[in-house]
Amino acid sequence: MNANPPKVYMCVICGFLYEEEKGLPEHGIPPGTRWKDVPENWTCPDCGATKDEFEMIEI
């Protein structure tokens, strides 16, 4: 059992999901990139919200 499974973070503004397991290759974020490793200046591709506007959700 993985002690640190990939997590999912949701934009509280528009509902966009960032899945650590999938990353966002089309935005230069490879699969498996942890949320803490996503650049601080990254913004939601759908609405432009900052990382501060995302919350971890349970899947």
- With cut-offs at 50, 70 and 90, classify the pLDDT of residue 59: low
11 is in an annotated binding site: yes
44 is in an annotated binding site: yes
Distance CA 50, CA 59 (A): 22
20 is in an annotated binding site: no
The model's pLDDT over 9-45, given as tens digits with 9 standing for 90+, comes to: 999 999 999 999 999 999 999 999 999 999 999 999 9
| Structure-token pair, residue 28 | 């230069």
Check residue 2 and give its pLDDT.
Answer: 60
Check residue 3 and give its pLDDT.
Answer: 74
- Spatial CB neighbours of 10, under 8 Å, sequence gap ≥ 6: 16, 17, 18, 54, 55, 56, 57
Q: What domains does the chain contain, in order, with CATH numbers?
A: 8-57 (2.20.28.10)
Mean pLDDT computed over 47-59: 93
38 is in an annotated binding site: no
